[in-house]
């Protein structure tokens, strides 16, 4: 009997140890497969990602790879969500160096509600300049900041953009005032040179004796309509995320 | 030089041209006279007259060389007072007894105007128009309105040269017509190029140019148009009660300005016949003018010159149509107050509305 209890307890302990280890190994929030970051940067970013996870009960994930192995960024992103053991609420940032792809997608009810496709486009556009310059750490920090802003805004409500509205109101007020006072100033001037003599034309004296319209040549140019690469559609069944190049 | 004062046959007072009845009227006994009755006074003008000038140096002082050039002195028939004018003064009023006088010699022979448009609006109307001109101008300094010497507004017959011309134009343009369409793969733009020619004639009559160097030409252009249908044959009697100048810019000089305006109008008239193109640009413009004989006319203008803050301001009203022009000064302090005050109010309103929308 005692042996059975010891066996069961140790199995339980072993199992929980293994599962913790397994979860620690299979669901790290930052996986730098393409080795774009130094170890200090990795530590700092992982800390930020863990703070995000704790605050919003949602996994913000950063994955960098050398190649997408023939998959599209969207397919790869979905595979990450499905098979790599992240929580149901998840935001994925995928960077592939082979063809310089960057992809952001959100999964789960709350995450998808907080990050619309337009928002994902915005975040991707925010980080693309840093990626193009090779500032990967900054790019990822920006990603975390943006995710925090939008998720916090969705859950807790966005902060009142006092400064933006104040500046806009001041500019609009000044421009309108300039126009109105400009009109009032123009009222003061009434002396104008008359450059034409239209009122002195002899009525009916105009005779167009010569009128020729000659066709010379024709020129046709055409511009290719760009196909939309970043798929935006939003027809049911979850969003497609935001993909682009850097 | 012969000075003319028109005496009323009834009471011997000096009669003037009255704008409301468009006849000569005696302000003392209210009798009205037709213009024809006074035509006999102008008989002498048909002959060439020699100018005889009376030089008078003023008592008690020596005039410098050249200072007296251009001054003419006349003797008022009614009171004997000295009337000082310059070379162009043709009609004025005696500064002592206020009787109107006309300097006949200014209109002798070649100098006789072909026609005149008599004043239709009197001094009261001019003052009213000036007051109306101030209304609603929020940036006008208050002190300006108060300090104007409104009573000094003068009715002046301004000498004008009237030009007729026939313009012969030949203009070439380049034009384009643009068409755009697209299919599923491409956006197409088709541009067709054309060479357009327009030619023909157009006539102008009585284009006015200010013949007095003392009066600003641009100011006179601003009060156009004058309606030629109101013009009558010239008689010196019309000038009584008003001021007048004869021309000092001759017709060869003034024709330059008239031709400028005629050319612009011709180009505009022919350009307006080019229709249906997306873009039109003239390539070569060839306009030949054949000018007819210039006419010399006197047109009625109410003038007031005033100065304020070191700047001169001149107002003019068309004595026939009543059109009033004149640049006004800007009250800088009021302008700043309006600019920032309005900006502040609108900014506050926009801010309040945006905040409201945010929290709904």
Q: Which of A176, A184, A197 sits opposite B204 (nearest CB)?
A: A197
Whether ipTM > 0.90 holds is no
| Cβ contact, residue pair A181, B344, below 8 Å | no
SS3 at position B134? helix
B189 phi, psi to nearest 5 deg: -130, 120
The rounded distance, in Å, linking the Cα atoms of B357 and B360 is 5
Q: Return the residue in A159, A162, A191, A228 with the most chain B beta carbons within 10 A, the one to mutate for interface testing.
A: A191
d(CA B215, CA B221): 11
Q: Do B268 and A198 touch (CB under 8 A)?
A: yes
Which candidate from B225, B273, B327 shows the least CB-CB separation from A188? B327
Q: What is the pLDDT along chain B (360 residues), one digit of tens a residue?
A: 467 778 887 887 888 888 888 888 888 888 888 888 777 767 766 655 555 454 544 444 555 555 566 778 888 888 888 888 887 888 888 888 888 888 877 777 777 889 999 999 988 888 888 888 888 888 888 888 776 667 688 899 999 999 988 889 999 999 999 999 988 888 999 999 999 999 999 999 899 999 998 889 999 999 999 988 889 998 888 888 888 888 888 888 888 898 889 989 999 999 999 999 999 999 998 888 887 778 999 999 999 988 888 888 899 999 999 999 999 988 889 999 999 999 999 999 999 998 888 887
d(CA A189, CA A192): 8
Question: What is the helix, strand, coil percentage profile of chain A, to 5?
Answer: 50, 20, 30
Chain A residues whose CB is inside 8 A of the B184 CB are 225
Closest chain A residue to the Cα of B133, Cα to Cα:
A188
| Residue B229 burial class via C-beta count within 10 angstroms: exposed 0-12, middle 13-18, buried 19 and up | exposed
Instruction: Encode B253-281: b = buried (16+ Cβ within 10 Å), e = exposed.
Output: ebbebbbebbbbbbbebbbeebeebeeee
Tokens in use for A117? 């496709």
Which of helix, strand or coil describes residue A71? coil
Tell me the whole-structure pTM to 2 decimals.
0.69
Chain A residues within 8 A of B268 when measuring between CB atoms: 196, 198
Is the CB of residue B196 less than 8 Å from the CB of residue A214? yes
If you measure CA to CA, which chain A residue comes closest to B224? A194
Chain B: closest CA distance from residue A187 (Å):
7
Q: How far is A124 from chain B (nearest CA, A)?
A: 26
From chain B, the residues in CB contact with A200 under 8 A are: 204-207, 225, 265
End-to-end CA distance of chain A: 64
Strands lying side by side in the sheet with B16-18: B16-18, B23-25, B32-33
The answer to whether the CB atoms of A184 and B219 lie below 8 A apart is: no
Q: Which residues pair with B74 in a beta bridge?
A: B83
With contacts defined as CB-CB under 8 Å, which chain B residues touch A169?
A: 347-348, 350-351, 354
CA A45 to chain centre: 19
CB contact under 8 A, A201 and B329: no
| Interface contact flag, B137 A216, Cβ < 8 Å | no
Chain B residues with beta carbon closer than 8 angstroms to that of A199: 224-225
Residues 133-192 of B with CB under 8 A from A: 133, 136-140, 166, 170, 175, 182, 184-192
CA B181 vs CA A216, A223, A224, B186, B277: distances in Å: 22, 11, 12, 9, 18
Q: Which residues contact B6 (CB under 8 A, 6 or more apart)?
A: B14, B15, B16, B24, B38, B41, B100, B102, B237, B240
């Amino acid at each position: 009997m005692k042996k059975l209890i010891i066996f069961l307890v140790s199995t339980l302990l072993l199992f929980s140890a293994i599962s913790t280890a397994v979860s620690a190994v299979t669901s790290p929030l930052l996986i730098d497969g393409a080795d774009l970051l130094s170890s200090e940067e990795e530590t700092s970013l992982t800390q930020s990602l863990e703070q995000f996870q704790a605050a919003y009960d949602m996994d913000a994930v950063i994955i960098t790879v050398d190649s997408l192995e023939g998959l599209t960024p969207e397919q790869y992103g979905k595979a990450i969500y499905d098979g790599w053991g992240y929580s149901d609420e998840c935001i994925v940032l995928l960077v592939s160096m082979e063809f310089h792809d960057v992809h952001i997608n959100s999964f789960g009810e709350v995450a998808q509600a907080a990050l619309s496709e337009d928002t994902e486009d915005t975040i991707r556009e925010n980080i693309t300049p840093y990626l193009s310059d090779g500032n990967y750490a900054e790019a990822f920090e920006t990603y975390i900041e943006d995710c925090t802003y939008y998720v916090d805004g969705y859950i807790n409500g966005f902060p009142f953009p006092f400064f933006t509205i104040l500046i806009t109101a001041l500019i609009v007020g000044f421009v309108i005032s300039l126009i109105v006072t400009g009109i009032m100033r123009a009222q003061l001037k009434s002396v104008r040179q008359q450059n034409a003599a239209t009122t002195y034309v002899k009525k009916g004296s105009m005779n167009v004796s010569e009128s020729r319209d000659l066709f010379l040549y024709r020129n046709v140019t055409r511009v290719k309509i760009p196909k939309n690469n970043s798929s935006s559609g939003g027809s049911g069944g979850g969003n497609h995320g935001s993909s682009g190049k850097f | 030089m012969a000075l003319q004062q028109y005496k009323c046959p009834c009471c011997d007072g000096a009669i003037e041209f009255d704008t409301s009845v468009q006849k000569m009227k005696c302000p003392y006994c209210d009798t009205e006279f037709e213009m024809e009755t006074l035509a006999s006074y102008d008989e002498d003008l048909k002959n060439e007259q020699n100018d005889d000038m009376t030089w008078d140096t003023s008592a008690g002082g020596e005039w410098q060389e050249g200072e007296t050039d251009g001054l003419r002195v006349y003797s008022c028939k009614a009171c004997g007072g000295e009337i000082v004018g310059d070379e162009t003064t043709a009609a004025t009023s005696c500064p002592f007894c206020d009787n109107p006088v006309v300097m006949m010699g200014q209109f002798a022979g070649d100098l006789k105007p072909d026609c005149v448009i008599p004043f239709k609006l009197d001094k009261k109307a001019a003052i009213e128009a000036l007051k109306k001109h101030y209304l609603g101008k929020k940036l006008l300094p208050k002190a300006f309105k108060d300090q104007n010497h409104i009573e000094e507004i003068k009715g002046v017959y301004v000498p004008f040269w009237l030009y007729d011309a026939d313009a012969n134009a030949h203009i070439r343009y380049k034009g384009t017509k643009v068409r755009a369409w697209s299919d599923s793969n491409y956006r197409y733009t088709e541009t067709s190029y054309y060479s357009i020619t327009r030619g023909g004639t157009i006539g102008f009559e009585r284009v006015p140019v200010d013949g007095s160097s003392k009066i600003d030409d641009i100011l006179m252009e601003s009060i156009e148009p004058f309606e030629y249908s109101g013009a009558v044959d010239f008689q010196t009697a019309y000038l009584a009660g008003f001021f007048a100048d004869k021309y000092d810019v001759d017709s060869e000089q003034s024709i330059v300005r008239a031709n400028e305006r005629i050319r612009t109008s011709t180009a505009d008239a022919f350009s307006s016949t080019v229709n249906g193109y997306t873009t039109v640009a003239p390539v070569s413009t060839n306009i030949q003018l054949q000018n007819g004989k210039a006419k010399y006319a006197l047109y009625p203008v109410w003038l007031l010159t005033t100065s304020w803050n070191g700047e001169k301001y001149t107002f003019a009203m068309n004595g026939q149509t009543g059109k009033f022009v004149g640049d006004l000064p800007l009250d800088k302090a009021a302008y700043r107050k309006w600019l920032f005050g309005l900006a502040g109010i609108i900014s506050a309103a926009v801010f309040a509305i945006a905040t409201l929308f945010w929290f709904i």
